[in-house]
Amino acid sequence: MHSRFVRVLLLVTGFSTPGCQEFPGTPPAGAPSSRHEFRQEHMGTEFRILVHDPSRERAAKAAGLAFERIEELDAIYSDYRSESELSRLSRSSGGGAAVKVSEDLWQILERAGEIARTTGGAFDITVGPAVLLWRQATYTRRLPEPRKLERARARIGHEKVRLDPDRREVLLEVRAMRLDLGAIAKGRACDEALAVLFREGIRSALVDGGGDLVLGEPPPGGEGWQVEIAGLEDSEDRERIESFLEELRPAPVGVATSGNASRSVEIDGKRYSHIVDPRTALGLTHQAQVTVIAPSGMDADALASAMSVLGPRDYEPVARRLATELDFLAVIFVEDGRIETSFLKPPAPNPKSP
């Protein structure tokens, strides 16, 4: 019998926020506890690293290095920090000169560009000017002025980001562009943190960037990671997700959730999300929660945000396109108690399982 990699749990009690949460497992009876958990604040959220290793000391050292890597990435990717590499790049917009960027910034910009193209612009890191207007609206509780939205729209568009792979240079074509990696950076940070743990010899690990998860190899004991997806009260769907995940290879798996209603603002009786439709510069008014399971945290994070924009009625053709390039992909919408799951591509059977 092969061990389950991920077990999706029914939401029993306790968690009030929608999203994915790792559920603490119990070690098998009589076994020494090898489970160690570490937490640190980064990127405006709490990151958790969960590892299974006989040595607490080794686990703590590895987790420390992983947190350092997350911090290093935040210093590059943050749009809150005016001296981050990303902010400096945004300030170069409209100046006509291409800017050489670090490998870490290049990798995320390149993948963001690909995802923007495949999702028809539903995911677009140039939404920064609109995100800023909606961030202000959460304080003023007033809709952004139409002329400001119009100005923001003129600066948005992934085709305005020109990448030169040979020189690793980036040209932002229009003045006052503002790049925002808020929908993808946490996923990549989780991937990179897990890579550090792997390099330190720890393979059974989970990194949680505030609800965006990356899973390494499952814990010893055969139960697998227990991941809870809020709202999945329908047992039939839960079982379908479990059997979808059952055959996953023990390689990194990203699980990300978007559309958290708690990060939204109500104005004149209408709720606007912190996720913006790049085509209109407006905060989303549909509030479906969507979870994406994909081969990396970066893809899961970005695609969950993209699927939020597309919504449960329009996402499928885009998801089908994505499934052709990814090793596996699942999209799970939860909206007003209704669940819409798409297992667009099952993972290849695990060669190790009998």
Judged on CB neighbours under 10 Å (0-12, 13-18, 19+), 99 is middle
Selection from Mg ion, ligand AMP, none that 125 binds (CB < 5 to 8 A by kind) is: ligand AMP
- Whether the CB-CB separation of 112 and 184 falls below 8 Å is answered with yes
Minimal CA–CA distance to 159: which of 95, 116, 130?
116
Binds ligand AMP by CB under 6 A, chosen from 47, 123, 272, 328: 123
Examine residue 124 and tell whether it contacts ligand AMP (CB under 6 A).
yes
- Which one of 61-69, 142-150, 163-171, 275-283 is the stretch in contact with ligand AMP (CB under 6 A)? 275-283
Examine residue 208 and tell whether it contacts Mg ion (CB under 5 A).
no
Binds ligand AMP by CB under 6 A, chosen from 113, 182, 209, 216: 182
Binds ligand AMP by CB under 6 A, chosen from 258, 289, 291, 296: 258
Restricting to residues 292-321, name those near Mg ion by CB under 5 A: 301, 304-305
- Which one of 98-106, 118-126, 225-233, 313-321 is the stretch in contact with ligand AMP (CB under 6 A)? 118-126
- Whether the CB-CB separation of 197 and 252 falls below 8 Å is answered with no
Binds Mg ion by CB under 5 A, chosen from 62, 131, 183, 309: 183
Judged on CB neighbours under 10 Å (0-12, 13-18, 19+), 309 is buried
CA distance 198 to 217: 10
Which CB atom, from 121 or from 218, has the smaller least distance to ligand AMP?
A: 121
Closest residue to bound ligand AMP by CB: 182
Which CB atom, from 155 or from 274, has the smaller least distance to ligand AMP?
A: 274
CA distance 259 to 19: 9
Which CB atom, from 21 or from 204, has the smaller least distance to ligand AMP?
A: 21
CA distance 154 to 129: 10
What phi and psi values does residue 147 have, to the nearest 5 degrees?
Answer: -70, -30
Examine residue 156 and tell whether it contacts ligand AMP (CB under 6 A).
no
Binds ligand AMP by CB under 6 A, chosen from 101, 143, 183, 241: 183
Continuous segment of H or E residues that includes residue 73 = helix 56-77
Examine residue 309 and tell whether it contacts ligand AMP (CB under 6 A).
yes
**Which residues have C-beta within 8 Å of that of residue 336, sequence separation ≥ 6?**
none
Binds ligand AMP by CB under 6 A, chosen from 246, 301, 318, 328: 301
- Which one of 88-96, 102-110, 190-198, 268-276 is the stretch in contact with ligand AMP (CB under 6 A)? 268-276
Tell me the β-bridge partners of 171: 162
- Whether the CB-CB separation of 71 and 43 falls below 8 Å is answered with no
- Residues engaged in binding ligand AMP (CB under 6 A): 123-125, 127, 131, 180, 182-183, 258, 274-276, 278, 301, 304-305, 308-309
